[in-house]
Amino acid sequence: MRKQLMRWSRVLVCAIACSMATVACDNKPPVPKAAFNSTDVTGIDYAQGFELTDHTGQKRTLADYTGKIVVVFFGFTHCPDVCPTTLAEMAAVKKELGTDGDKLQVLFVTVDPERDTQQALADFVPAFDPSFVGLYGSTEQTMKLQKDYKLFVQKVANKQGGGYSVDHTAGSYVYDAQGRIRLFVRSGQGPQAILHDIKLILAGA
């Protein structure tokens, strides 16, 4: 009887040890796939960076903003709707982030360098938020940019009054603090959706 008891207790100890081992093993939390509202483009081989000039005349590359979450939006200052709306939304997102707002850098890159001079960008971009930066390049740099970022850009002559408008890809690319491309944000998602995604990246997603 005593022998049997000892055998049972040994079995029991073993069972507990085994189950604990299993628990220890299963205890690693599974890496949750981040539920982004935007398109997760992590790992794509385009949209890797740029060489441009900012609205104060400084040469800039993506690496200058390492340590911040960078949102790059392409547009033009004469844009009647999408561009100002997007910049206003990004300003709202930055505000909503509170103190974490400092970890966000919004870059507005013109696809219309002909009209969007350094001065035009300086007048337009920081008006949405003083930290926002306008970027421009030469015609050649802008052409290269369109290729590097697979942008659709097309000048369209105005029907009345002369001049032209520019049809363009209306979305933003988001980089994490290490400068890795992470998201493509379609325009029209609204600030709450963007805020949610940026918070995820800030939390290490």
Site residues (vs Ni ion, CB under 5 A)? 75, 79, 82-83
Q: What DSSP state is assigned to residue 91?
A: H
* Distance separating alpha carbons of residues 189 and 61, to the nearest angstrom: 27
Instruction: Give strand pairing partners of 168.
Output: 153
Residue whose CB is less far from Ni ion, 138 or 154: 154
Are 110 and 121 in contact, with CB atoms under 8 Å apart? yes
In the complex, the smallest distance separating the C-beta of residue 121 from Ni ion, rounded to whole angstroms, is 14
Alpha carbon separation from 47 to 85, 119, 204 (Å, rounded): 23, 26, 21
Residue whose CB is less far from Ni ion, 83 or 205: 83
Residue whose CB is less far from Ni ion, 75 or 134: 75
Angle between helices 191-202 and 82-96 (to 10 degrees): 50
Instruction: Give strand pairing partners of 186.
Output: 171
Phi and psi torsions of 77, nearest 5°:
-70, -20
In the complex, the smallest distance separating the C-beta of residue 153 from Ni ion, rounded to whole angstroms, is 10
The closest residue (CB) to Ni ion is 79
Residue whose CB is less far from Ni ion, 109 or 195: 109
In the complex, the smallest distance separating the C-beta of residue 71 from Ni ion, rounded to whole angstroms, is 15
In the complex, the smallest distance separating the C-beta of residue 114 from Ni ion, rounded to whole angstroms, is 15
Residue whose CB is less far from Ni ion, 36 or 108: 108
In the complex, the smallest distance separating the C-beta of residue 77 from Ni ion, rounded to whole angstroms, is 9
Torsion of CA 179, 184, 187, 193, to 10 degrees: -80
Instruction: Give the count of alpha carbons within 13 A of 101, CB side only.
Output: 14
